[in-house]
Amino acid sequence: MDTILILDFGSQTTQLIGRRIRDMGVYTEILPGDSAIDEALQKQAEKGHKVKGLILSGGPESVYVPGSPAPDKKIYGLEIEGKPMPLLGICYGIQRMTQDLGGKVEALPEREYGRKKVILMSGIGAYVGANNYSPLHMPPDFTAWMSHGDTITALAPGFIQTGTSETGYPAILAHESKPWFGLQFHPEVTHCEHGDEILASFAFDLCHAEKGWDMEHYIAEIRSSLPQQVGASPVLLLISGGVDSTVAGALLLKALDPGLVHLMYVDNGLMRKNETMQVEESLKRLGAKHLHIIHAEDEFLSALKGLSEPEDKRKTIGDLFIKVQEREVARLGLPDTYYLAQGTLYTDLIESGKGVGKKAHVIKTHHNVASPLVAAKRDAGRIIEPLAGLYKDEVRRLGRLLNVAEDVVRRHPFPGPGLGVRILGEVTKEKCDILREADAIYIDELKKRNLYDAIWQAFAVLTPVRTVGVAGDIRKYGWTVALRAVTSSDGMTADVYPFNMQDLLEISTLITNAVPEVGRVVYDISSKPPATIEWE
Ligand code: XMP
């Protein structure tokens, strides 16, 4: 399969480069910027992948600072079918190429940040190299996205400037005789006009990559490799009910004999309304034979009794989860050779600036706890991560192909400690039930009003505040429920969802009518930062 490798120098948007090109049907992989290139190419070849081009990503450092990250110099001598390997440097990437190849990079008096016009230089246009390599296609002027504190002050020999930013700095470079290009801006960022067109032009016109990447292909690859890896050993997957673990379960059931696949789900009493039932139904529908639903509600609620500090609650839930998990896994009596599967995603494995695989011991378990079980299995080399090559959007696509229910595929994120961090103060069964009802009405309404998919995460919170109200002629003292809805792309930052007031008014009335214990509904209008998405 044709592949484009991305050398990561630490930009926040490196992953986006990979995603955008994969969305075009061309496989990408992100590697640490300083990877030994021969080894990297060899690894790809072993997988049957053919590397057709390299992208050098952006990064936060300055290329002129000694010790700043640099690629293996051999990348400048690589050839493919007797011609130089196509290279695209983005921001730090082109500055790095410039510095490595004899040009000069210096600090700008003032950082260039945000939307800036880029103008292609007249007479040069998008530039066709002397060897008639295809040009990088883009319109004569457009608005790009810049974020850099350094600029190129002398081009490396062989390069020419083909585009300039509105502030007068070099924005696009091309090599006279090699399929090498540089962009000072970030085509991978959605604010950059024609960004996809530019990346597509690199992938298809310069690298001549053929489309070979889609989820059908991924399923076929896993179906041929996974049975070989596990042989006759059983595989255990802990299911949380979220997208990743459910799709991982569906994939295991498709790729392996379902008789080997054990799925375990712990109901800790802090799940949403009907969640356990839905998880059970959807996994059975996917062909699960060994589904172990552990009902541990009483155990968790007793452990939480009297605790009101958020950190105490989180720790108690996490520790108990490990205890229950170990006990229940032991109870299954699987042979020691069993494999433990996790729904780790590609993004979980990448630490910006270090590339894939450098992140110390990624732990993604059901409740984000550093489980000794996972550590032991990892040490024994018996962890399976069938989604580890995928981005979240791809997992959703895969889920649909595997017939995972649309409701699960579209589901908003849900924190490991569940309602435990959405009931402020002490958690009781009664409060869980109140919150479950209010939250279900809220989420149901969002779906009915076609608002659910426009929101990244929405949920109700039970505050410890009771306020006075009236019901009929009687004064009543009811709980205050807060509604939260945010837009976000990764949960790191979030904006408040700007509801139409009428929707909020109607949802509030529905909640107070249906849940008599709730006397008041408020809407949280705090973005992140400074507020976090969850309240505890
Ligand atoms: P915050 O509240 O930190 O949340 O802004 C960002 C995202 O992470 C989720 N979250 C958690 N997820 N275990 C999880 O699996 C947790 O302990 C946890 N705490 C917060 C939160 O729901 C949001 O999507």
DSSP 285-335: HTT-SEEEEEE-HHHHHHHHTT---HHHHHHHHHHHHHHHHHHHHHHHT--
Say yes or no: CB of residue 400 within 6 Å of ligand 1. no
Alpha-carbon gap, residue 504 to 483, rounded angstroms: 9
Alpha-carbon gap, residue 278 to 154, rounded angstroms: 62
Alpha-carbon gap, residue 87 to 100, rounded angstroms: 14
Q: Is 227 helix (H, G, I), strand (E, B) or coil?
A: helix
Alpha-carbon gap, residue 454 to 498, rounded angstroms: 11
CB 215 within 8 A of CB 398: yes
Instruction: Point out the ligand 1 atom lying closest to the alpha carbon of residue 488.
Output: 24
Same fold: 2-206 with 215-409: yes
CB 26 within 8 A of CB 2: yes
Question: How is the chain split among helix, strand and coil, in percent rounded to 5?
Answer: 35, 25, 40
Beta strands 457-471; 474-487: pairing state: antiparallel
Phi/psi of residue 228, each to 5°?
-65, -40
Atom 12, ligand 1: which residue's CA is nearest? Answer: 415
User: Within 10 A of 83 (CB to CB), how many other CB atoms are there?
Assistant: 11
Alpha-carbon gap, residue 437 to 418, rounded angstroms: 15
- Pick from 346, 361, 326: nearest CA to 244: 346
**In the CATH scheme, what is the code of domain 215-409?**
3.40.50.620
Q: HEC string of 301-313?
A: HHHHCCCCCHHHH
Whether the pTM exceeds 0.95: the reply is: no
pLDDT computed for residue 351 by the predictor: 58
Say yes or no: CB of residue 493 within 6 Å of ligand 1. no
What separation in angstroms does the CA of 299 have from each of 294, 304, 431? Answer: 11, 9, 16
Residue of 91, 192, 207, 432 marked active site: 91
Say yes or no: CB of residue 416 within 6 Å of ligand 1. yes
**Rg of the chain (C-alpha set):** 26
Q: Which two tokens stand for residue 7?
A: 């050398």
Say yes or no: CB of residue 528 within 6 Å of ligand 1. yes
pLDDT computed for residue 371 by the predictor: 79
Domain boundaries, the chain: 2-206, 215-409, 428-523
Atom 6, ligand 1: which residue's CA is nearest? Answer: 491
pLDDT computed for residue 350 by the predictor: 67
Task: For Cα atoms 485, 491, 494, give the angle at the middle one, nearest 5 degrees.
Answer: 50
In tens digits, what is the pLDDT along the chain, a chain of 536 residues?
Answer: 999 999 999 988 898 999 999 999 999 999 999 999 999 999 999 989 999 999 999 999 999 999 999 999 999 999 999 999 999 999 999 999 999 999 999 999 998 899 999 998 865 544 544 455 677 888 889 999 999 999 999 999 999 999 999 999 999 999 988 999 999 999 999 889 999 999 999 999 999 999 999 999 899 999 999 999 999 999 999 999 889 999 999 999 999 999 999 999 999 999 999 999 999 999 999 999 999 999 999 999 999 999 999 999 999 999 999 999 999 999 999 999 999 999 888 877 765 555 655 543 444 444 455 678 888 998 999 999 999 889 888 999 999 999 999 999 999 999 989 999 999 999 999 999 999 999 999 999 999 999 999 999 999 999 999 999 987 788 889 999 999 999 987 787 899 999 999 999 999 999 999 999 999 999 999 999 899 999 99
Q: Measured in Å, how far apart are the chain's first and last C-alpha atoms?
A: 46
Say yes or no: CB of residue 242 within 6 Å of ligand 1. no
Say yes or no: CB of residue 310 within 6 Å of ligand 1. no
Alpha-carbon gap, residue 501 to 499, rounded angstroms: 6
- Pick from 345, 260, 280, 353: nearest CA to 31: 353
pLDDT computed for residue 310 by the predictor: 94
Decide if 91 is catalytic: yes
Give the architecture (CATH level 2) of 428-523.
2-Layer Sandwich (3.30)
Say yes or no: CB of residue 533 within 6 Å of ligand 1. yes
- Pick from 85, 112, 121, 101: nearest CA to 4: 85
Say yes or no: CB of residue 227 within 6 Å of ligand 1. no
Give the architecture (CATH level 2) of 2-206.
3-Layer(aba) Sandwich (3.40)
- Pick from 228, 184, 179, 168: nearest CA to 201: 179
The DSSP code for 454 is: G
Decide if 207 is catalytic: no
The distance of Cα 489 from the centroid of its chain, to the nearest Å, equals 9
Residue of 148, 175, 186, 262 marked active site: 186
Say how many Å lie between the CA of residue 534 and the centre of ligand 1. Answer: 6
pLDDT computed for residue 191 by the predictor: 87
Say how many Å lie between the CA of residue 327 and the centre of ligand 1. Answer: 26
Decide if 137 is catalytic: no
Say how many Å lie between the CA of residue 293 and the centre of ligand 1. Answer: 24
